[in-house]
């Protein structure tokens, strides 16, 4: 294990994160109309965070200075990816801690400052593209005594962590690890390019292409939102949240705030694009849309989304939902389509934006949306969760297994389209991934139930009897990078009421889900660190 190289690369990442904080600085100034006065506290908090990142990064670079120019092997790559996410989570929490960001106002009317667990939770949620938040009152409420609890510059940093995390996933994870033996079978579609290219050059080119597409999508979405009258601040923050399939908004009522079908449809299209295999999007840029339209995973992805959306729309139209006054009522067909489509796309792509409180929909829709959290988008995208390709392979394997029950000697190859998958381990790997996700879901669920006292529900004004299902939805929403769940963590609620042990559990869920479990788990295997 080449620890010097790892230190050096982590140092580089710390410097990059520190440097990128400069983008959040201007929003503390009254230049862009986002704040009426100079937000001194958050300005200096960001400066302090940048200095800390610089110190940490410099120190790591200095320790690892002799690691320069050495080769990055598989084990080092895994260590860098895993550790860089942990490091980013800590560094990203600095602006929250140093500024006077508050999470809520307690019963006595006092502002509750962001604690250690809150900062780490919010930072992990940002970098992992989850979008679960502990913050309330992102903007001034109707009550004049309750101004915004979060400075604008901090709000921008929060959304910016989505951008950094999404970029990191596409470059660090998909490009470096996804090109390995295991990931290759899942990504399937090879990047177009010279076939004589070395593996190293191919990886570098893939990383660069993915980063380019990621930035391009963000830029285009920002412009499209701006053209529809959204301010630059909101347009940028929502573009960050959409393309990284994160879901942090700058408004208390998320995308509902804009009251614009156009904005909602634009964001829906880009959520869907962000969860499409970036290699296929690259083909689209090369004007070869056939690759995209003919891709099995992409077609199943759209088909599942359409089928679920149809079921939810029918449920909304013909069964109903609870309105603001708690009455059971029905939407018109137009509203059913509007809210149903957006919410299904938002949940399936693991973004988590909201235009309606889906926790007030009927049980069938709520259950379906929780299940949909476990589907996710395509491999090779910013989507978190299990991903469509694994579901396709799972059902194919199941079908082959059924035949093996009565014909044990007949062994058919696993096919995808017209290509047989030759890797003998792929069956075991795909099925194992389901098992591990369920195992982690179950462990997280029990840990959250055990650590979070029942009184949390009573304090939040929620029925305590919902603890089991609320905790299940909270773990599902964080493990799959969605954000909002049911009940106490529903669309109109957030994670502010949880205590630090519960937040700690959910923080791990977000990181485990984002890094597809194994990359983080192996860091705790002693043998991983031993030997050459």
Which is nearest to 151 in space by CA: 26, 235, 42, 252?
42
Does 317 contact its own copies by CB under 8 A? no
Report in angstroms how near the CB of residue 180 gets to its own copies at its nearest: 8
Does 431 contact its own copies by CB under 8 A? yes
DSSP state of 179: T
Segment 160-189, which members bind its own copies (CB under 8 A)?
A: 180-182
Does 436 contact its own copies by CB under 8 A? yes
Which of these ranges, 42-50, 145-153, 441-449, 490-498, lies near its own copies under the rule CB under 8 A? 441-449
Of residues 78 and 102, the one with the C-beta less far from its own copies: 78
Report in angstroms how near the CB of residue 339 gets to its own copies at its nearest: 20
User: Which residues touch 415 (CB under 8 Å, ≥6 apart)?
Assistant: 396, 421
Segment 460-479, which members bind its own copies (CB under 8 A)?
A: 463, 465-469, 471-472
Structural contact between residues 90 and 117, judged by C-beta atoms closer than 8 angstroms: no
C-alpha 260/C-alpha 212 separation (Å) is: 29
Of residues 183 and 352, the one with the C-beta less far from its own copies: 183
Report in angstroms how near the CB of residue 467 gets to its own copies at its nearest: 4
Assign 3-state DSSP to the chain and report helix, strand, coil percentages, each to 5: 65, 5, 30
DSSP state of 413: P
Of residues 45 and 77, the one with the C-beta less far from its own copies: 77
C-alpha 283/C-alpha 289 separation (Å) is: 6
One of 417, 446, 455, 459 touching its own copies (CB under 8 A): 446
Does 416 contact its own copies by CB under 8 A? no
One of 19, 193, 367, 420 touching its own copies (CB under 8 A): 367
Does 525 contact its own copies by CB under 8 A? yes
Q: Please give the C-alpha separations between residue 373 and each of 116, 482, 513, in angstroms, as whole numbers.
A: 28, 7, 12
Q: Three-state SS across 428-489?
A: HHHHHHHHHHHHHHHHHHHHHHHHCCCHHHHHCCCCHHHHHHHHHHHHHHHHCCCCCCCHHH
C-alpha 80/C-alpha 333 separation (Å) is: 50
One of 31, 318, 364, 455 touching its own copies (CB under 8 A): 364
The structure tokens listed for 471 are: 């905790």
How many beta carbons lie within 10 A of that of residue 178, not counting itself?
Answer: 21
Report in angstroms how near the CB of residue 310 gets to its own copies at its nearest: 14
Q: Binding-site residue total for its own copies (CB under 8 A)?
A: 55
C-alpha 121/C-alpha 508 separation (Å) is: 9
What string marks each residue from 65 to 104 as x (binds its own copies by CB under 8 A) or -?
A: ---------xx--x--------------------------
Does 148 contact its own copies by CB under 8 A? no
Report in angstroms how near the CB of residue 432 gets to its own copies at its nearest: 5
C-alpha 491/C-alpha 391 separation (Å) is: 27
Report in angstroms how near the CB of residue 438 gets to its own copies at its nearest: 5
Of residues 190 and 403, the one with the C-beta less far from its own copies: 403
C-alpha 67/C-alpha 200 separation (Å) is: 19
Does 29 contact its own copies by CB under 8 A? no
Which is nearest to 369 in space by CA: 327, 413, 315?
315
Segment 104-133, which members bind its own copies (CB under 8 A)?
A: none
Does 439 contact its own copies by CB under 8 A? yes
Report in angstroms how near the CB of residue 529 gets to its own copies at its nearest: 10
Structural contact between residues 441 and 433, judged by C-beta atoms closer than 8 angstroms: no
C-alpha 48/C-alpha 33 separation (Å) is: 24
Does 368 contact its own copies by CB under 8 A? yes
Does 458 contact its own copies by CB under 8 A? no
One of 402, 412, 417, 455 touching its own copies (CB under 8 A): 402
C-alpha 278/C-alpha 292 separation (Å) is: 10
Does 421 contact its own copies by CB under 8 A? no
* Three-class secondary structure of residue 25 per DSSP: helix
Report in angstroms how near the CB of residue 136 gets to its own copies at its nearest: 23
Does 442 contact its own copies by CB under 8 A? yes
One of 405, 422, 461, 532 touching its own copies (CB under 8 A): 405
Report in angstroms how near the CB of residue 305 gets to its own copies at its nearest: 17
Which is nearest to 508 in space by CA: 167, 53, 89, 135?
89
Does 307 contact its own copies by CB under 8 A? no
Structural contact between residues 485 and 476, judged by C-beta atoms closer than 8 angstroms: yes
Structural contact between residues 316 and 340, judged by C-beta atoms closer than 8 angstroms: yes
Of residues 110 and 181, the one with the C-beta less far from its own copies: 181
Interaction site with its own copies (CB under 8 A): 74-75, 78, 180-182, 362-364, 366-368, 370-371, 394, 397-398, 401-403, 405-408, 427-428, 431-432, 434-436, 438-439, 442, 445-446, 449-450, 454, 463, 465-469, 471-472, 486, 518-519, 521-522, 525, 527-528
């Amino acid at each position: 294990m080449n620890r010097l190289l790892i230190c050096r690369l982590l140092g580089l990442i710390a410097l990059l994160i520190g440097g990128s904080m400069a983008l959040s600085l201007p929003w503390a100034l009254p230049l862009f109309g986002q704040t009426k006065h100079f937000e001194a506290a958050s300005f200096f908090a960001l400066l302090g965070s940048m200095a800390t990142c610089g110190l940490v990064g410099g120190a790591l670079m200095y320790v690892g200075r002799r690691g320069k120019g050495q080769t990055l092997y598989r084990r080092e790559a895994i260590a860098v990816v895993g550790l860089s996410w942990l490091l980013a989570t800590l560094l990203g929490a600095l602006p929250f801690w140093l500024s006077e960001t508050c999470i809520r106002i307690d019963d006595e009317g006092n502002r509750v400052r962001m604690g250690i667990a809150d900062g780490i939770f919010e930072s992990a949620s940002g970098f992992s593209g989850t979008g679960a938040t502990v913050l309330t009152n992102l903007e001034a409420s109707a009550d004049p005594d309750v101004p915004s609890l979060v400075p604008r510059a901090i709000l921008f940093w929060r959304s910016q962590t989505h951008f950094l995390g999404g970029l990191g996933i596409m470059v660090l994870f998909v490009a470096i690890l996804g090109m390995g033996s295991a990931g290759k079978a899942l990504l399937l579609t090879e990047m177009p390019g010279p076939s004589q290219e070395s593996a190293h050059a191919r990886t570098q080119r893939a990383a660069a292409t993915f980063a380019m597409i990621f930035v391009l999508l963000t830029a285009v979405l920002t412009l499209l939102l701006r053209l529809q009258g959204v301010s630059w601040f909101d347009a940028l923050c929502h573009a960050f949240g959409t393309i990284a399939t994160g879901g942090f908004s700058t408004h208390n009522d998320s995308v509902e705030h804009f009251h614009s079908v156009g904005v909602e449809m634009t964001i829906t299209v880009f959520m869907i694009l962000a969860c499409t295999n970036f290699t296929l999007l690259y083909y689209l840029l090369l004007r070869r849309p056939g690759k995209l339209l003919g891709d099995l995973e992409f077609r199943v992805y759209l088909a599942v989304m359409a089928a679920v959306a149809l079921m939810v729309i029918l449920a909304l139209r013909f069964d109903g939902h609870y309105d603001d006054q708690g009455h059971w009522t029905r939407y018109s067909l137009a509203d059913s389509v509007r809210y149903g489509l957006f919410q299904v796309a938002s949940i399936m792509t693991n973004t988590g934006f909201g235009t309606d409180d889906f926790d007030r929909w009927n049980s069938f829709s709520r259950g379906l949306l929780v299940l949909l959290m476990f589907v996710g988008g395509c491999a090779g995208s910013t989507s978190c969760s299990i991903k469509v390709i694994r579901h396709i392979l799972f059902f194919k394997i199941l079908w082959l297994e059924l035949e093996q029950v009565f014909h044990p000697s007949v062994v058919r190859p696993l096919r995808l389209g017209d290509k047989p998958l030759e890797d003998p381990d792929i069956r075991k790997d795909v099925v194992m991934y389901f098992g591990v996700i369920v195992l982690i879901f179950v462990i997280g669920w029990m840990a959250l139930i055990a650590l979070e006292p029942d009184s949390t529900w009573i304090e939040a004004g929620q029925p305590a009897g919902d603890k089991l299902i609320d905790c299940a939805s909270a773990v599902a929403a964080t493990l799959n990078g969605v954000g909002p769940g049911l009940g106490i963590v529903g669309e109109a609620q957030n994670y502010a009421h949880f205590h630090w042990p519960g937040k700690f559990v959910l923080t791990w869920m977000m990181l485990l889900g984002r890094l597809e479990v194994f990359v983080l788990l192996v860091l705790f295997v002693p043998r991983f660190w031993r030997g050459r």
